[in-house]
Structure 1
Amino acid sequence: MTDTTAASGHDDRYKVLTPICISAVIIPLVFTGPAISTPAVGRDLGGDQASLSWIVNAYAIAFGGCVMAAGALGDHIGRKRCFVSGLVLFTITSVLIGFTPNLLALNLLRAVEGIGGAFVLTSATSLLAQEFEGDERTRAFSLLGTAFGAGLAFGPIASGFLIETLGWRSPYFAIALISILILAFGTPRIRESRNPDAKGIDWSGTILFTAGTGAAYLWDRPGTTGRVGQRSRRCALHRLGAAAHRLRDCGTTERPTDAGPVAVPLSPVYRVQILPVATGFSFIALIVYLPIWFIAVQARDEFAAGLAILPPTAPMLVVPLLAGRLARRLSPGILSGVGFLISAAGALLLLGMSPGTSVWPMVLPMLLIGIGSGIPCGLMDALSVSVVPKERAGMAAGIFTTMRVAGEAIAIAAIGAALIGFTVGRLSVRSTEQTITLPETAAVLANGIGSGATVNLGASVSALVYESYTDAFHAVLIVLAVLAALAAMVCFLTLRTSTAKLPT
């Protein structure tokens, strides 16, 4: 069984890196920009916080639910074709969002944009896997991780600047412009590749998995209480269980071939998935909620909050590339485990944060979190496709990207719910007499502080709420440190063997 396009040995394959790495910069921009713009969108188009949250959630759920199908589809019809299709969707939806008249249309377009993101990221990974082998593949994927890190590092700052100067619609026009430039000058350099034995897509499995991804979010969503919340959780549990059952049985959304089932060997592929899931909790969730803490508790504006989280995001510019170089000599599993331990240490040191603390004492802990998370981020893309034959790279990339995006979405929802729960718990201990009415405060938190929106409270109540919210952040940091340490142990025990090493 061979791929229609073998890994090239000519120098032109390095030209493929430019458009793919630029597209990797766009992915975090499409996620972080709309998240920061949520308050401005609310002021312009209206809508409660639950509706506004779907600006991010619609994209994340569509992205996470479609990446596995996008990988299998790329194997079937061509990875370049899927890559171009994703960029076209980015361009069209971003322009339409720039002129959208209401919140419902915006949320629907964001879901379509999420499908485009699934096509772009999964195809980019598969295309690199086809062009490079051995140490060159490791370096290429390290550059891909660095590009993704650049989007994470500067995305919040760039988006905040554009929103403050040109309005909330401007980041979408910027995304459309970058997509057009890649289509015009980058994609002609990319060669087509596909799996000649691919037979089609399991659409029922895709739909079921997408429903399961959405159910996982609904299960963790804060503010869902009462009988409605119980019914929603029961429904979510049924959908999530069905999706997990389908994923266990199939291992992919690609149909069987004449040579037998295409499901990859369970152990190598699924051992690697600990890396994106753990990174979702130890890093992605933090860079979502740390700006909210800076905005809500320390009264910083969006641009200042973006600058404040440079310490954890800036290492993503260089650490993934350095990790790729170290992987030539050391096991990627061992390196990833060390990275998670560094991240755990940073989370524990960050316990010194308080409402009156300057950002400077927080720089070192946040740097450690960014450095530690950057190590597995620079290795996990290459690991995900190194455990399968090249002609199955699209499928493996789909499974990996699914776990990355679904893990990040669940981590964000779970950490958000934990912050609200811990905050209300701390308020119940701190409040005395009738200073605070807990049901009202819980509603304020669910619709205000926890989402980054501005909340008008009395001075004494605000101080108590912000102190409790910071205490909740401390509890979450401890949990994240424990999870990172456990992820390190899993890496040391299961990814240190030769089956998990990158090709040399």
Structure 2
Amino acid sequence: MDLQAGAPLRYRSAAGRWVLLATVLGSSLAFIDATVVNIALPTIGRDLDADAAGLQWTVNGYALSLASLILLGGSLGDRFGRRRVFLTGVAWFAVASLLCGLAPTVELLVAARILQGIGGALLTPGALAILEASFAHEDRSRAIGAWSGLAGIGGALGPFLGGWLVEIGNWRYIFLINVPVAVLVLLVAARHVPESRNPSAARAFDTIGLVTGAVGLGGLTYGFTAWPEAGPGDPAVLAALALGVTGLAAFVVAERRSAHPMVPPAIFRSTAFSGANVVTFLVYAANGGVFFLVVVNLQVVAGFSPLAGGVALLPVTVLMLLLSARAGALAQRIGPRLPMTAGPLICAAALVWLSMVGPGASYWADVLPPVIIFGLGLALQVAPLTATALGALDDAYAGVASGVNNAVARAAGLLSVAVLPLVAGLGAGNLTDPVTLQPVYHTTMLVCAGLMTCGGIVAWLLIPNRLTAHEPAPSFCDPCSPPMIKRGEESRPG
């Protein structure tokens, strides 16, 4: 059945709610596991006798495979079916989460986290591409806003969930809890999510692009992670950094020459698409530093318990949940430029305030006010940013656009976790030493505020007031999947 034979889903329809539920739950698995481990880092370090590099790789191993392969995930969805690839990613993620929960050493935990990232790379771009292909044009910003508010809060909910699970039992629960959630996602998506793909997409794999992109990110990440202990003159550090730069340069050349590129260079001719991805890189690099160090600083320097450190960021979760869909609707009415400019600037002000949190800090006076301001800024910008990155291109590129934007976001978070402590002067210090961590945290928050400020400026300069409307692309629907609802018919679950 051709998608154009039936009406696109409406945001408030029952069918639309089922699709939104499946994509939100699936995306939340990947988003929560990008941050949930942060709150447990001190406990994991003591339990598994891990050094600072091992703890960083517990975060970076997941982010590396996610960022390296997420372009492939989006491309596979366009080629072979967005629902099919999404379901594969959810199942893969569940198995990898089980391995994380059973890991007896930090080395095996890092390996299992890398496998988790592969599953996340398959499911994350598929979720957004499903929304872009399924909903009516006038409802997409609201649907993406709701997705951002419900799934995106996973990044903020992670520390709270992690703190609670660590306190009531064991850090391994933060991974094992993914398994029943993934089973629920598989049941809902298999029953209610329609299949779609781009029938004009090439079947050939861009193997050279995949390998060079992964090598580039991997080399840079390893080099920056090893730098603090080994030093900038260490041959392994220099070789890794050189390999990373060479790999990324080769990726650009390969995409320009490939007959079937994983990332068609022509999509970057859109100023709105390119600008949205630059803003994404700056904003998510700042977010990576914030969610990596704030909860650690609250425990190690300010003396908060794991649960109290996680609860400290709960207002961000609430504000994202309440305001993201409204921010998407606002951007649909007034255009994305103003929300995408104001949001990062509000976050920057909040991070300057948060940088002053130190020993003996009071939650109510020193932590809660800037956290609320940060949450307001984040809620204002995330949905318009995502909607702009997807809406700037034709619908046929939904998977590629989602893959590129997610890859940029994950790469930014990946590099920020590796680079920011180094820039802030961590050296060979330990993340669990309060004397060492306090100045590093302060400097990192100021650097993150600067990144947010640059994101707001770029948005004002490159994001248009209105996006050009695109004609829906012809897509294939699997006849075995749930049907799209005909115009005028009542949408009913099941």
Q: TM-score range by the shorter chain?
A: 0.7 to 0.9
- For 2:454, the equivalent position in structure 1 comes to 486
Taking structure 1 as reference, are residues 129 and 152 closer, same or farther at Cα in structure 2, changes over 3 Å only?
Answer: same
Pairs within 5 Å for 1:98-247: 98-199=101-202, 200-221=204-225, 223-226=228-231, 229-247=234-252
Report how far residue 342 of structure 1 moved: 1.0
Cα offsets for 1:452-489 (capped at 9, x unmatched): x3x4xxxxxx6xx26xx444433333333332222212
Pairs within 5 Å for 1:378-457: 378-421=383-426, 443=428, 445=429, 448-449=430-431, 453=432, 455=433
Pairs within 5 Å for 1:260-275: 263-268=266-271, 269-275=273-279
Residues 283 and 370 in structure 1, CA contact (< 8 A), matched pair in contact too? no
Report how far residue 3 of structure 1 moved: 7.4
Residues 255 and 262 in structure 1, CA contact (< 8 A), matched pair in contact too? no
In 1: Cα distance, 2:139 partner to 2:207 partner: 35
Report how far residue 289 of structure 1 moved: 0.5
Q: Read off the aligned partner of 1:485 and give its amino acid letter.
A: T
Taking structure 1 as reference, are residues 503 and 380 closer, same or farther at Cα in structure 2, changes over 3 Å only?
Answer: farther
- For 2:361, the equivalent position in structure 1 comes to 357
In 1: Cα distance, 2:28 partner to 2:288 partner: 15
Residues 69 and 254 in structure 1, CA contact (< 8 A), matched pair in contact too? no
Identify which of 464, 470, 474 aligns with 1:496: 464
Residues 289 and 445 in structure 2, CA contact (< 8 A), matched pair in contact too? no
Identify which of 296, 320, 325 aligns with 1:321: 325
Report how far residue 219 of structure 1 moved: 3.8
Report how far residue 312 of structure 1 moved: 4.1
Residues 66 and 118 in structure 1, CA contact (< 8 A), matched pair in contact too? yes
- Structure 1 length-normalised TM: 0.84
Taking structure 1 as reference, are residues 261 and 142 closer, same or farther at Cα in structure 2, changes over 3 Å only?
Answer: closer
Identify which of 298, 303, 318 aligns with 1:299: 303
In 1: Cα distance, 2:65 partner to 2:267 partner: 24
Taking structure 1 as reference, are residues 404 and 500 closer, same or farther at Cα in structure 2, changes over 3 Å only?
Answer: farther
Taking structure 1 as reference, are residues 47 and 343 closer, same or farther at Cα in structure 2, changes over 3 Å only?
Answer: closer
- For 1:343, the equivalent position in structure 2 comes to 347
In 2: Cα distance, 1:245 partner to 1:359 partner: 48
**Are residues 1:53 and 2:80 paired?**
no
Report how far residue 306 of structure 1 moved: 0.6
In 2: Cα distance, 1:472 partner to 1:41 partner: 21
Cα offsets for 1:105-126 (capped at 9, x unmatched): 3222211110100111110011
Taking structure 1 as reference, are residues 209 and 252 closer, same or farther at Cα in structure 2, changes over 3 Å only?
Answer: farther
- For 2:482, the equivalent position in structure 1 comes to none
In 2: Cα distance, 1:4 partner to 1:245 partner: 39
Taking structure 1 as reference, are residues 237 and 49 closer, same or farther at Cα in structure 2, changes over 3 Å only?
Answer: same
Using CA pairs under 8 Å that are at least 6 residues apart, name the structure with larger relative contact order, 1 or 2: 2
Structure 2: runs of 5+ lacking an equivalent: 473-494
Q: Read off the aligned partner of 1:338 and give its amino acid letter.
A: A
Q: Read off the aligned partner of 2:111 and give its amino acid letter.
A: L
Residues 270 and 392 in structure 2, CA contact (< 8 A), matched pair in contact too? no
In 2: Cα distance, 1:13 partner to 1:180 partner: 21
Identify which of 438, 441, 444 aligns with 1:473: 441
**Are residues 1:375 and 2:401 paired?**
no
In 1: Cα distance, 2:471 partner to 2:318 partner: 28
Using the TM superposition, name which of 173-182 and 232-241 deviates more.
232-241
> Sequence identity of aligned pairs in percent?
25
Structure 1: runs of 5+ lacking an equivalent: 422-441, 456-461
In 2: Cα distance, 1:213 partner to 1:50 partner: 17
Report how far residue 20 of structure 1 moved: 0.6
